[in-house]
Structure 1
Amino acid sequence: MRGRTSGDKSFLVLKSELSEVAEAYGATAEELVEIHKQCWEHDEEYQWERICLANPEFRDVKQYDKERILELLSRIRGGQKKSKEEVVRTSKVETDGKLYEEIYRDGQALFIDPEGNTYEELEIGGLKYAPIFGDELTEGAVLLPSGMESYEDEKTLIAEIQAHIHKYVDVSPFFETIGAYYVLLTWLYDELNTLPYLRVLGDTGTGKSRFLDTVGRLCYKATIVSGAITPAPIYRLIRKWGGTIIIDEGDFRASDEKNEVVKILNCGFERGRPVVRSQKDHPD
């Protein structure tokens, strides 16, 4: 008899937890897994809408149960994929000193190497890597470059970024320079242990959002979290993309939401300071 591996046990535990939550709303784990298979590449809101269409009872689900179900489905699928074929969805691959970054061109997500060659997927060391694709890209929540371009030197690149800022934002040359250098900083952030934040202050109507939009969209994997958004998606976007979060403070009306964002900022500027989260009804 074949011994049960830790991976098998983990899968069964996840499936059992999913069954417990699903049955409370009149569904089965198998039903949810099957629905998830058809839409896992889309963002979580789309996945949840598909689940609700098949099982209307889930429209009244508690927020914690919703997040738990989506998390379990993602982990179950991850275990299934690894058991069949190692495919890692990521926006960046670095191996043997060579960097492959994700780009988004003509509706297609691709990897690009320093020479400008593009790949639909990579196979390295027995693992397959594929770029992330979903509504975050197609709807413009995450902005990726469409290609790469060589510059004669850093001075030329800085001058071009400054010219772009000057064209769309009315600020002094000093702040044009600060903005340009900060854009470059975001493209190298993972080489540093600590980072400053760029915060724009001013009265209503002075162009804060304009500056945020103009400079932010040039940053590394600009991730725009605007509108009536709760902090929970921000955590997921940071983990998924590892890009530059663009936050308009005016979008966070509730004080508890602002406090959650402050926690992210207080820990996020320095390497090795993770944000630890828990649910009061499910502390483990």
Structure 2
Amino acid sequence: PDSLPKSLLVIGSGAIGIEFASFYSALGVDVTVVEVQNRILPVEDEEISKLAHVAFVKQGLTIHTGATVEQLRNTAHGVSARLRTANGIATEIAVERVIMAVGITGNVEGLGLEEQGVRIDRGHIVVDEWCRAGAPGLYAIGDVVGPPWLAHKAMREGVLCVEKITGVEGVRPLNPANVPGCTYCTPQIASLGLTERAARESAHELRIGRYPYAANGKAIALGETEGLVKTIFDAKTGALLGAHMIGAEVTELIQGFAIGKTLETTEAELMATIFPHPTLSEMMHESVLDAFGRALHV
């Protein structure tokens, strides 16, 4: 289309759905988001999801969680959608456009992959730690091998795959726990490693730190006081298990935690690290300190 729609329905509230929803809402489009799970951004930490939900509603988005789209019907003016909300009530909404953002499936049909011994699982090629796809000389990387569906994850897979093929020494398999995830919406969202729920389910004793944007001088100067940096540590070993952030420029900040986690850092090294002032990155330091009862600027 050569013009913006007045209204838009986004089905699915993962990173892709939320990015489109946030983008179009910022341009003045009336956006409705429908998510079958009981919260938006279901792979993110629950605390971050709740903060994002509040921020998006404040911006004017209409969000239905625990809801399904039962029917889409073309009309003379766009699309009529029948929704089933969380309380079981059916309702009809009319929108000009619909974006289906419920996941990614590999384009693997009709290629004869199964005949070569390649296994397909829910639309994705199954590979080993070196991206070998189960047939001699056949490798697969990126979205076609499954989540996380991220460009930087695909790039790393491509590098390690080729290095393994060419015999480069010291090649390491990709560790999904060290892949940062970024959602480019407003406010930005970034995460790494285990969520709080996943960490607790892994029987870890946890130390959790939080630091709000509202307490950071640089955030105040920028007028970006909505946000949070959350860090999760193993209480016994001090290992960084996860980091979860929402707010201005967190997609840039998360790499600091990614480096630390890749180097298997503990809370001791992070607390001893000098963070420059005044910066947003100071919130990362304060969150780590807070996890161990040592926050300085609260």
TM-score, with structure 2 as normaliser: 0.22
Which of the two has greater strand per residue? 2
Name the structure, 1 or 2, with higher relative contact order (CA <8 Å, separation 6+): 2
TM-score, with structure 1 as normaliser: 0.23
Which of the two has greater helix per residue? 1
